[in-house]
Structure 1
Amino acid sequence: MTHIPYRNALIIGTGPGISASVTRLLRAANIPVVVASRHVDRLATLVKETGASALSVDATDASQVERLFAEAESLIGSPEVVIYNASGRTRGPIADLNPVDVEQVLAVSALGAFYTVRQAAKRMVPARRGAILLTGATAGLKGFALSAPFAMGKFALRGLAQSAARELAPQGIHVAHIVVDGSVRGAGRPDSEDGTLDPDAVAQSYVDLLCQHRSAWSWELEIRPWIENF
Protein backbone atom coordinates (compact mmCIF):
# COMPACT_ATOMS: atom_id res chain seq x y z
CA MET A 1 0.00 0.00 0.00
CA THR A 2 1.20 3.52 -0.79
CA HIS A 3 2.08 5.49 2.34
CA ILE A 4 -0.90 7.45 3.68
CA PRO A 5 0.40 10.85 4.85
CA TYR A 6 -2.11 11.25 7.68
CA ARG A 7 -2.04 10.04 11.26
CA ASN A 8 -5.70 9.27 12.06
CA ALA A 9 -9.25 9.33 10.67
CA LEU A 10 -12.86 10.02 11.59
CA ILE A 11 -15.60 8.45 9.45
CA ILE A 12 -19.15 9.75 9.90
CA GLY A 13 -22.13 7.77 8.65
CA THR A 14 -20.37 4.43 8.93
CA GLY A 15 -22.20 1.38 7.64
CA PRO A 16 -21.34 -2.09 6.32
CA GLY A 17 -20.33 -0.94 2.83
CA ILE A 18 -17.86 1.72 1.72
CA SER A 19 -17.15 3.10 5.20
CA ALA A 20 -16.39 -0.35 6.62
CA SER A 21 -14.04 -1.09 3.72
CA VAL A 22 -12.23 2.23 4.16
CA THR A 23 -11.90 1.49 7.87
CA ARG A 24 -10.27 -1.87 7.13
CA LEU A 25 -7.76 -0.33 4.74
CA LEU A 26 -6.81 2.45 7.14
CA ARG A 27 -6.47 0.08 10.06
CA ALA A 28 -4.32 -2.23 7.91
CA ALA A 29 -2.01 0.77 7.57
CA ASN A 30 -2.00 1.14 11.39
CA ILE A 31 -3.97 4.37 11.26
CA PRO A 32 -6.27 4.92 14.27
CA VAL A 33 -9.90 5.30 13.16
CA VAL A 34 -13.05 6.51 14.88
CA VAL A 35 -16.26 5.36 13.20
CA ALA A 36 -19.49 7.21 13.98
CA SER A 37 -23.14 6.48 13.35
CA ARG A 38 -26.60 7.09 14.79
CA HIS A 39 -26.79 3.32 15.27
CA VAL A 40 -23.46 2.71 16.94
CA ASP A 41 -24.52 -0.77 18.09
CA ARG A 42 -24.43 -1.89 14.47
CA LEU A 43 -20.70 -1.20 14.35
CA ALA A 44 -19.77 -3.80 16.97
CA THR A 45 -18.56 -6.38 14.45
CA LEU A 46 -16.45 -3.83 12.55
CA VAL A 47 -14.95 -2.55 15.80
CA LYS A 48 -14.09 -6.07 16.93
CA GLU A 49 -12.57 -6.90 13.53
CA THR A 50 -10.49 -3.76 13.07
CA GLY A 51 -9.86 -2.29 16.49
CA ALA A 52 -11.49 0.99 15.47
CA SER A 53 -13.29 3.09 18.08
CA ALA A 54 -17.03 3.73 17.71
CA LEU A 55 -18.98 6.83 18.76
CA SER A 56 -22.61 7.78 18.43
CA VAL A 57 -23.72 10.90 16.55
CA ASP A 58 -26.75 12.39 14.86
CA ALA A 59 -25.08 14.37 12.10
CA THR A 60 -28.12 16.63 11.69
CA ASP A 61 -27.44 18.12 15.14
CA ALA A 62 -24.62 20.68 15.08
CA SER A 63 -23.95 20.29 18.80
CA GLN A 64 -23.63 16.52 18.47
CA VAL A 65 -21.15 16.89 15.61
CA GLU A 66 -19.12 19.32 17.70
CA ARG A 67 -19.16 16.87 20.61
CA LEU A 68 -18.16 14.01 18.29
CA PHE A 69 -15.04 15.83 17.17
CA ALA A 70 -14.10 16.56 20.78
CA GLU A 71 -14.60 12.91 21.75
CA ALA A 72 -12.68 11.67 18.73
CA GLU A 73 -9.86 14.06 19.56
CA SER A 74 -9.63 12.61 23.06
CA LEU A 75 -9.32 9.10 21.59
CA ILE A 76 -7.03 9.53 18.58
CA GLY A 77 -5.96 13.17 18.49
CA SER A 78 -7.30 15.86 16.19
CA PRO A 79 -8.65 14.06 13.09
CA GLU A 80 -6.44 14.55 10.04
CA VAL A 81 -8.78 12.61 7.73
CA VAL A 82 -12.52 13.24 7.94
CA ILE A 83 -14.91 11.27 5.73
CA TYR A 84 -18.60 12.15 5.54
CA ASN A 85 -20.57 9.18 4.26
CA ALA A 86 -24.06 9.92 5.61
CA SER A 87 -27.02 10.63 3.36
CA GLY A 88 -30.81 10.68 3.48
CA ARG A 89 -33.38 9.56 0.98
CA THR A 90 -37.13 9.64 0.46
CA ARG A 91 -38.89 8.91 -2.82
CA GLY A 92 -42.17 9.80 -4.45
CA PRO A 93 -43.98 12.32 -6.65
CA ILE A 94 -43.12 15.90 -5.70
CA ALA A 95 -46.76 16.74 -5.02
CA ASP A 96 -47.04 13.85 -2.55
CA LEU A 97 -43.79 14.26 -0.60
CA ASN A 98 -44.01 15.06 3.10
CA PRO A 99 -42.11 18.32 3.75
CA VAL A 100 -40.88 16.99 7.11
CA ASP A 101 -39.33 13.98 5.39
CA VAL A 102 -37.70 16.22 2.79
CA GLU A 103 -36.25 18.47 5.49
CA GLN A 104 -34.74 15.41 7.17
CA VAL A 105 -33.12 14.26 3.92
CA LEU A 106 -31.56 17.68 3.40
CA ALA A 107 -30.44 17.82 7.01
CA VAL A 108 -28.55 14.52 6.68
CA SER A 109 -27.11 14.95 3.19
CA ALA A 110 -26.26 18.66 3.28
CA LEU A 111 -26.43 20.27 6.72
CA GLY A 112 -24.68 17.34 8.42
CA ALA A 113 -21.90 17.59 5.86
CA PHE A 114 -21.59 21.33 6.52
CA TYR A 115 -21.41 20.80 10.28
CA THR A 116 -18.72 18.20 9.68
CA VAL A 117 -16.63 20.32 7.31
CA ARG A 118 -16.93 23.24 9.72
CA GLN A 119 -15.55 21.27 12.65
CA ALA A 120 -12.84 19.73 10.49
CA ALA A 121 -11.75 23.13 9.16
CA LYS A 122 -11.53 24.56 12.67
CA ARG A 123 -8.88 21.97 13.46
CA MET A 124 -7.16 21.57 10.10
CA VAL A 125 -6.69 25.22 9.15
CA PRO A 126 -4.40 26.03 12.11
CA ALA A 127 -2.43 22.84 11.40
CA ARG A 128 -2.39 23.57 7.65
CA ARG A 129 -2.92 19.90 6.87
CA GLY A 130 -5.72 17.38 6.55
CA ALA A 131 -8.13 15.72 4.14
CA ILE A 132 -11.92 15.91 3.93
CA LEU A 133 -13.70 13.39 1.69
CA LEU A 134 -17.42 13.77 0.97
CA THR A 135 -19.37 10.86 -0.49
CA GLY A 136 -21.71 11.92 -3.28
CA ALA A 137 -23.84 10.07 -5.81
CA THR A 138 -25.08 10.17 -9.38
CA ALA A 139 -27.96 12.26 -8.05
CA GLY A 140 -25.51 15.07 -7.35
CA LEU A 141 -24.91 15.41 -11.10
CA LYS A 142 -28.41 14.73 -12.44
CA GLY A 143 -31.72 14.59 -10.64
CA PHE A 144 -33.90 11.57 -11.35
CA ALA A 145 -37.69 11.46 -11.41
CA LEU A 146 -39.36 10.67 -8.07
CA SER A 147 -36.08 11.39 -6.26
CA ALA A 148 -36.05 15.18 -5.85
CA PRO A 149 -35.01 15.25 -2.16
CA PHE A 150 -32.03 12.96 -2.73
CA ALA A 151 -30.93 15.09 -5.69
CA MET A 152 -31.36 18.30 -3.70
CA GLY A 153 -29.21 16.97 -0.89
CA LYS A 154 -26.48 15.60 -3.13
CA PHE A 155 -26.37 18.74 -5.30
CA ALA A 156 -25.89 20.76 -2.12
CA LEU A 157 -23.16 18.38 -0.96
CA ARG A 158 -21.31 18.79 -4.25
CA GLY A 159 -21.55 22.58 -3.99
CA LEU A 160 -20.20 22.44 -0.46
CA ALA A 161 -17.29 20.27 -1.59
CA GLN A 162 -16.42 22.55 -4.50
CA SER A 163 -16.57 25.69 -2.37
CA ALA A 164 -14.61 24.11 0.49
CA ALA A 165 -11.95 22.81 -1.90
CA ARG A 166 -11.38 26.26 -3.34
CA GLU A 167 -11.23 27.83 0.11
CA LEU A 168 -9.24 25.22 2.00
CA ALA A 169 -6.83 23.72 -0.55
CA PRO A 170 -4.55 26.80 -0.49
CA GLN A 171 -4.39 26.29 3.28
CA GLY A 172 -3.05 22.75 2.94
CA ILE A 173 -6.34 20.85 3.23
CA HIS A 174 -7.34 18.36 0.56
CA VAL A 175 -11.12 18.40 -0.01
CA ALA A 176 -12.56 15.86 -2.44
CA HIS A 177 -16.04 14.85 -3.55
CA ILE A 178 -16.53 11.23 -4.63
CA VAL A 179 -19.37 10.54 -7.05
CA VAL A 180 -20.47 6.95 -6.41
CA ASP A 181 -22.18 6.29 -9.73
CA GLY A 182 -23.78 2.88 -9.19
CA SER A 183 -25.06 0.46 -6.59
CA VAL A 184 -22.64 -0.86 -4.00
CA ARG A 185 -22.58 -4.61 -3.42
CA GLY A 186 -24.14 -5.88 -0.24
CA ALA A 187 -26.62 -4.00 1.94
CA GLY A 188 -29.46 -6.13 0.58
CA ARG A 189 -28.58 -5.61 -3.08
CA PRO A 190 -27.82 -8.66 -5.26
CA ASP A 191 -24.14 -9.04 -6.06
CA SER A 192 -22.96 -8.90 -9.64
CA GLU A 193 -19.34 -8.79 -10.71
CA ASP A 194 -20.08 -6.40 -13.55
CA GLY A 195 -23.16 -4.45 -12.52
CA THR A 196 -22.30 -3.27 -9.01
CA LEU A 197 -19.45 -1.57 -7.21
CA ASP A 198 -17.17 -3.63 -4.98
CA PRO A 199 -16.93 -1.63 -1.70
CA ASP A 200 -13.31 -2.72 -1.22
CA ALA A 201 -12.41 -1.36 -4.65
CA VAL A 202 -14.23 1.89 -3.91
CA ALA A 203 -12.39 2.15 -0.60
CA GLN A 204 -9.08 1.79 -2.41
CA SER A 205 -10.03 4.81 -4.52
CA TYR A 206 -10.61 6.79 -1.31
CA VAL A 207 -7.17 5.81 -0.06
CA ASP A 208 -5.66 6.70 -3.44
CA LEU A 209 -7.12 10.20 -3.03
CA LEU A 210 -5.52 10.47 0.39
CA CYS A 211 -2.16 9.52 -1.10
CA GLN A 212 -2.19 12.19 -3.82
CA HIS A 213 0.64 14.69 -3.72
CA ARG A 214 -0.57 18.22 -3.12
CA SER A 215 0.82 19.29 -6.49
CA ALA A 216 -1.80 17.06 -8.14
CA TRP A 217 -4.87 17.00 -5.89
CA SER A 218 -8.22 15.95 -7.31
CA TRP A 219 -11.28 17.77 -5.98
CA GLU A 220 -13.71 15.28 -7.54
CA LEU A 221 -13.60 11.61 -8.48
CA GLU A 222 -16.31 9.62 -10.26
CA ILE A 223 -16.48 5.87 -9.65
CA ARG A 224 -18.70 3.50 -11.63
CA PRO A 225 -18.81 -0.12 -12.82
CA TRP A 226 -17.17 -0.49 -16.22
CA ILE A 227 -20.49 -1.40 -17.89
CA GLU A 228 -22.38 1.58 -16.37
CA ASN A 229 -23.84 4.08 -18.83
CA PHE A 230 -22.86 7.72 -18.33
Structure 2
Amino acid sequence: MRPMTSTTASKGIVAIVGVGPNLGRSIARKFAHEGYTVAILARDLGRLSRFADEIAREEKAQVFAIRIDCSDAKSVREAFEGVHSLGFVEVLVYNACPPVSWHTPKFTDISLDSFEKSLAVSAVGAFHCAQQVLPGMVERGKGTILFTGSSASVNGIGGYCELSCGKFALRALSQCLAREFQPLGIHVAHIIPDGVIGAPRSSQRSGGEQSMDSSMDPDAIAQTYWHIHVQDRSAWTQEIDLRSSNQRF
Protein backbone atom coordinates (compact mmCIF):
# COMPACT_ATOMS: atom_id res chain seq x y z
CA MET A 1 0.00 0.00 0.00
CA ARG A 2 1.35 3.39 -1.04
CA PRO A 3 -0.03 6.33 1.00
CA MET A 4 -0.10 9.87 -0.40
CA THR A 5 -0.99 12.12 2.53
CA SER A 6 -2.13 15.68 3.06
CA THR A 7 -3.49 17.81 5.87
CA THR A 8 -7.01 18.00 4.41
CA ALA A 9 -9.66 16.51 6.70
CA SER A 10 -11.62 13.74 5.00
CA LYS A 11 -15.23 12.60 5.25
CA GLY A 12 -14.81 8.85 4.85
CA ILE A 13 -13.19 6.08 2.82
CA VAL A 14 -14.00 5.50 -0.83
CA ALA A 15 -12.61 2.27 -2.32
CA ILE A 16 -12.42 2.29 -6.12
CA VAL A 17 -11.58 -1.08 -7.64
CA GLY A 18 -10.32 -1.09 -11.21
CA VAL A 19 -8.57 2.25 -11.66
CA GLY A 20 -7.09 3.00 -15.07
CA PRO A 21 -6.25 6.26 -16.84
CA ASN A 22 -9.81 7.22 -17.72
CA LEU A 23 -13.01 6.47 -15.75
CA GLY A 24 -11.47 5.00 -12.60
CA ARG A 25 -9.05 7.89 -12.23
CA SER A 26 -11.84 10.43 -12.86
CA ILE A 27 -14.05 8.87 -10.17
CA ALA A 28 -11.14 8.91 -7.73
CA ARG A 29 -10.42 12.55 -8.49
CA LYS A 30 -14.07 13.55 -8.03
CA PHE A 31 -14.42 11.92 -4.60
CA ALA A 32 -11.04 13.27 -3.51
CA HIS A 33 -12.18 16.73 -4.58
CA GLU A 34 -15.25 16.32 -2.36
CA GLY A 35 -13.09 15.63 0.68
CA TYR A 36 -13.01 11.85 0.89
CA THR A 37 -10.04 9.65 1.63
CA VAL A 38 -9.64 7.54 -1.51
CA ALA A 39 -8.24 4.02 -1.86
CA ILE A 40 -7.56 3.14 -5.49
CA LEU A 41 -7.04 -0.51 -6.38
CA ALA A 42 -5.75 -2.26 -9.51
CA ARG A 43 -3.17 -4.81 -10.58
CA ASP A 44 -0.47 -2.38 -11.77
CA LEU A 45 0.81 -0.85 -8.53
CA GLY A 46 3.43 1.29 -10.27
CA ARG A 47 0.90 3.07 -12.48
CA LEU A 48 -1.58 3.21 -9.61
CA SER A 49 0.96 4.96 -7.38
CA ARG A 50 1.49 7.62 -10.05
CA PHE A 51 -2.25 8.23 -10.19
CA ALA A 52 -2.42 8.46 -6.39
CA ASP A 53 0.43 10.97 -6.29
CA GLU A 54 -1.17 13.07 -9.03
CA ILE A 55 -4.64 13.15 -7.45
CA ALA A 56 -3.30 13.80 -3.94
CA ARG A 57 -1.27 16.72 -5.23
CA GLU A 58 -4.05 18.25 -7.36
CA GLU A 59 -6.89 17.80 -4.86
CA LYS A 60 -4.88 18.10 -1.62
CA ALA A 61 -6.42 14.82 -0.52
CA GLN A 62 -5.40 11.51 1.03
CA VAL A 63 -5.05 8.86 -1.67
CA PHE A 64 -3.79 5.31 -1.16
CA ALA A 65 -2.69 2.91 -3.91
CA ILE A 66 -3.33 -0.77 -3.17
CA ARG A 67 -2.65 -3.68 -5.48
CA ILE A 68 -5.50 -6.13 -6.18
CA ASP A 69 -6.17 -9.01 -8.55
CA CYS A 70 -9.96 -9.19 -8.77
CA SER A 71 -9.83 -12.73 -10.15
CA ASP A 72 -8.10 -13.99 -6.99
CA ALA A 73 -10.16 -14.22 -3.78
CA LYS A 74 -7.03 -14.20 -1.60
CA SER A 75 -5.76 -11.03 -3.28
CA VAL A 76 -9.13 -9.35 -2.70
CA ARG A 77 -9.11 -10.23 1.01
CA GLU A 78 -5.56 -8.98 1.46
CA ALA A 79 -6.27 -5.77 -0.44
CA PHE A 80 -9.28 -4.97 1.71
CA GLU A 81 -7.32 -5.60 4.88
CA GLY A 82 -5.34 -2.58 3.74
CA VAL A 83 -8.47 -0.62 2.87
CA HIS A 84 -10.11 -1.35 6.24
CA SER A 85 -6.97 -0.23 8.04
CA LEU A 86 -7.79 3.27 6.79
CA GLY A 87 -11.23 3.32 8.42
CA PHE A 88 -14.87 2.71 7.57
CA VAL A 89 -15.57 2.17 3.87
CA GLU A 90 -18.50 4.42 3.06
CA VAL A 91 -18.39 3.92 -0.73
CA LEU A 92 -17.34 0.99 -2.90
CA VAL A 93 -17.01 1.55 -6.64
CA TYR A 94 -16.45 -1.65 -8.62
CA ASN A 95 -15.04 -0.56 -11.97
CA ALA A 96 -12.96 -3.61 -12.90
CA CYS A 97 -13.32 -5.02 -16.39
CA PRO A 98 -11.48 -7.79 -18.26
CA PRO A 99 -9.36 -6.75 -21.25
CA VAL A 100 -11.44 -6.31 -24.39
CA SER A 101 -9.96 -6.87 -27.84
CA TRP A 102 -11.38 -5.34 -31.01
CA HIS A 103 -10.27 -8.51 -32.80
CA THR A 104 -12.85 -10.86 -31.32
CA PRO A 105 -12.35 -14.63 -31.55
CA LYS A 106 -14.95 -17.06 -32.81
CA PHE A 107 -17.01 -18.56 -30.01
CA THR A 108 -15.55 -21.99 -30.69
CA ASP A 109 -12.04 -20.57 -30.28
CA ILE A 110 -12.63 -19.16 -26.78
CA SER A 111 -10.86 -21.22 -24.13
CA LEU A 112 -12.58 -22.21 -20.91
CA ASP A 113 -9.78 -20.56 -18.96
CA SER A 114 -10.32 -17.26 -20.77
CA PHE A 115 -14.09 -17.43 -20.24
CA GLU A 116 -13.76 -18.19 -16.54
CA LYS A 117 -11.17 -15.43 -16.06
CA SER A 118 -13.55 -12.90 -17.64
CA LEU A 119 -16.39 -13.98 -15.33
CA ALA A 120 -14.02 -13.81 -12.37
CA VAL A 121 -13.03 -10.20 -13.07
CA SER A 122 -16.48 -8.88 -14.06
CA ALA A 123 -18.69 -10.64 -11.52
CA VAL A 124 -16.92 -12.90 -9.01
CA GLY A 125 -14.52 -10.11 -8.07
CA ALA A 126 -17.47 -7.80 -7.49
CA PHE A 127 -19.06 -10.47 -5.27
CA HIS A 128 -15.90 -10.75 -3.16
CA CYS A 129 -15.44 -6.97 -2.86
CA ALA A 130 -19.06 -6.42 -1.85
CA GLN A 131 -18.76 -9.09 0.85
CA GLN A 132 -15.73 -7.24 2.23
CA VAL A 133 -17.59 -3.96 2.79
CA LEU A 134 -21.24 -4.85 3.41
CA PRO A 135 -20.93 -6.03 7.04
CA GLY A 136 -19.52 -2.66 8.09
CA MET A 137 -22.11 -0.76 6.08
CA VAL A 138 -24.97 -2.77 7.60
CA GLU A 139 -23.58 -2.23 11.10
CA ARG A 140 -23.61 1.54 10.55
CA GLY A 141 -26.82 1.63 8.53
CA LYS A 142 -25.27 3.51 5.61
CA GLY A 143 -23.08 3.05 2.58
CA THR A 144 -23.00 3.18 -1.20
CA ILE A 145 -22.01 0.47 -3.68
CA LEU A 146 -21.70 1.47 -7.34
CA PHE A 147 -21.11 -1.10 -10.08
CA THR A 148 -19.85 -0.11 -13.53
CA GLY A 149 -21.62 -2.00 -16.29
CA SER A 150 -21.53 -1.51 -20.05
CA SER A 151 -23.64 -1.96 -23.18
CA ALA A 152 -22.84 -5.66 -22.79
CA SER A 153 -24.73 -5.68 -19.45
CA VAL A 154 -28.09 -5.54 -21.21
CA ASN A 155 -27.42 -6.80 -24.75
CA GLY A 156 -25.52 -9.92 -25.75
CA ILE A 157 -22.99 -8.90 -28.39
CA GLY A 158 -21.75 -11.30 -31.04
CA GLY A 159 -18.05 -11.94 -30.56
CA TYR A 160 -18.12 -10.62 -26.99
CA CYS A 161 -19.47 -13.68 -25.20
CA GLU A 162 -16.97 -13.46 -22.35
CA LEU A 163 -17.64 -9.78 -21.63
CA SER A 164 -21.42 -10.03 -21.98
CA CYS A 165 -21.79 -13.03 -19.67
CA GLY A 166 -19.68 -11.37 -16.99
CA LYS A 167 -21.48 -8.04 -17.25
CA PHE A 168 -24.92 -9.70 -17.24
CA ALA A 169 -23.93 -11.44 -14.01
CA LEU A 170 -22.69 -8.17 -12.51
CA ARG A 171 -26.03 -6.52 -13.28
CA ALA A 172 -27.88 -9.40 -11.59
CA LEU A 173 -25.62 -9.08 -8.54
CA SER A 174 -26.40 -5.37 -8.34
CA GLN A 175 -30.14 -5.98 -8.49
CA CYS A 176 -30.00 -8.70 -5.84
CA LEU A 177 -27.95 -6.58 -3.46
CA ALA A 178 -30.22 -3.57 -3.99
CA ARG A 179 -33.30 -5.53 -3.00
CA GLU A 180 -31.65 -7.06 0.05
CA PHE A 181 -29.66 -4.14 1.42
CA GLN A 182 -31.34 -0.89 0.38
CA PRO A 183 -33.98 -1.30 3.15
CA LEU A 184 -31.00 -1.38 5.55
CA GLY A 185 -29.66 1.96 4.34
CA ILE A 186 -27.15 0.79 1.72
CA HIS A 187 -27.57 2.38 -1.70
CA VAL A 188 -26.69 -0.04 -4.52
CA ALA A 189 -26.69 1.12 -8.14
CA HIS A 190 -25.62 -0.17 -11.54
CA ILE A 191 -24.27 2.42 -13.99
CA ILE A 192 -24.13 1.67 -17.71
CA PRO A 193 -21.80 3.87 -19.79
CA ASP A 194 -23.25 3.02 -23.22
CA GLY A 195 -20.39 3.95 -25.51
CA VAL A 196 -16.65 4.36 -25.78
CA ILE A 197 -15.05 6.20 -22.85
CA GLY A 198 -12.25 8.46 -24.00
CA ALA A 199 -9.71 10.62 -22.20
CA PRO A 200 -10.99 13.54 -20.09
CA ARG A 201 -11.97 16.49 -22.28
CA SER A 202 -9.99 18.78 -19.98
CA SER A 203 -6.80 17.07 -21.11
CA GLN A 204 -7.70 17.35 -24.80
CA ARG A 205 -8.62 20.97 -25.31
CA SER A 206 -8.07 24.49 -24.08
CA GLY A 207 -10.76 27.11 -23.90
CA GLY A 208 -14.44 26.25 -24.01
CA GLU A 209 -14.89 24.52 -27.36
CA GLN A 210 -16.91 21.32 -27.39
CA SER A 211 -15.60 18.07 -28.86
CA MET A 212 -17.79 16.66 -31.62
CA ASP A 213 -16.64 13.04 -31.37
CA SER A 214 -18.94 10.44 -29.84
CA SER A 215 -16.65 9.29 -27.04
CA MET A 216 -17.76 9.82 -23.46
CA ASP A 217 -15.90 12.14 -21.09
CA PRO A 218 -14.91 10.18 -17.95
CA ASP A 219 -14.98 13.33 -15.83
CA ALA A 220 -18.63 13.84 -16.82
CA ILE A 221 -19.45 10.20 -16.02
CA ALA A 222 -17.74 10.58 -12.64
CA GLN A 223 -20.15 13.40 -11.82
CA THR A 224 -23.00 10.89 -12.15
CA TYR A 225 -21.31 8.53 -9.67
CA TRP A 226 -21.07 11.40 -7.21
CA HIS A 227 -24.69 12.49 -7.70
CA ILE A 228 -25.94 8.93 -7.12
CA HIS A 229 -23.92 8.71 -3.91
CA VAL A 230 -25.46 11.90 -2.48
CA GLN A 231 -29.05 11.24 -3.57
CA ASP A 232 -31.80 11.52 -0.99
CA ARG A 233 -32.81 8.02 0.06
CA SER A 234 -36.45 8.73 -0.79
CA ALA A 235 -35.51 8.69 -4.48
CA TRP A 236 -32.54 6.39 -5.03
CA THR A 237 -31.35 5.42 -8.49
CA GLN A 238 -30.90 1.67 -8.93
CA GLU A 239 -29.77 1.70 -12.56
CA ILE A 240 -28.90 4.40 -15.07
CA ASP A 241 -27.54 4.35 -18.60
CA LEU A 242 -25.38 7.14 -20.01
CA ARG A 243 -24.47 7.98 -23.59
CA SER A 244 -22.98 10.82 -25.57
CA SER A 245 -25.34 13.22 -27.33
CA ASN A 246 -23.18 12.72 -30.42
CA GLN A 247 -23.66 8.97 -30.41
CA ARG A 248 -25.59 7.54 -33.34
CA PHE A 249 -28.27 5.03 -32.40
TM-score by structure 2 length? 0.85
Deviation at 1:44, TM superposition (A): 2.6
Alignment match, 1:102: 115
Deviation at 1:228, TM superposition (A): 2.6
Of the two, which has the highest radius of gyration?
2
Deviations 1:83-117 (A, max 9, x none): 00001145321111111111111110010011011
> What is the CA–CA distance in structure 1 between the aligned matches of 2:244 and 2:32, rounded to whole Å?
26
Query: Residue type matched to 1:217 in 2?
Result: W
Deviation at 1:130, TM superposition (A): 0.3
Say whether residues 1:198 and 2:217 are aligned partners: yes
Would you identify which runs of 4 or more consecutive aligned residues in structure 1 move more than 6 Å?
none
Deviation at 1:227, TM superposition (A): 3.0
> What percent of counterpart residues are identical?
38
> What is the CA–CA distance in structure 1 between the aligned matches of 2:198 and 2:183, rounded to whole Å?
36
Query: Residue type matched to 2:37 in 1?
Result: P
> What is the CA–CA distance in structure 1 between the aligned matches of 2:38 and 2:165, rounded to whole Å?
30
Matches within 5 A, 1:14-163: 14-51=19-56, 52-75=63-86, 77-89=87-99, 91-163=104-176
> What is the CA–CA distance in structure 2 between the aligned matches of 1:55 and 1:184, rounded to whole Å?
24
Question: Which secondary structure state, in structure 2, belongs to the residue aligned with residue 111 of structure 1?
Answer: helix
Contact 2:12 2:88 in 1 (8 A): no
> What is the CA–CA distance in structure 1 between the aligned matches of 2:108 and 2:71, rounded to whole Å?
25
Query: Residue type matched to 1:87 in 2?
Result: C
TM-score by structure 1 length? 0.91
Alignment match, 1:3: none
Query: Residue type matched to 2:28 in 1?
Result: T
- Segments of 5+ residues of structure 1 without an aligned counterpart are 1-5
Contact 1:89 1:149 in 2 (8 A): no
Question: Which secondary structure state, in structure 2, belongs to the residue aligned with residue 36 of structure 1?
Answer: strand
Question: Which secondary structure state, in structure 2, belongs to the residue aligned with residue 11 of structure 1?
Answer: strand
- Segments of 5+ residues of structure 2 without an aligned counterpart are 1-10, 57-62, 205-210
Query: Residue type matched to 1:222 in 2?
Result: D
Query: Residue type matched to 1:32 in 2?
Result: T
Contact 2:212 2:246 in 1 (8 A): no
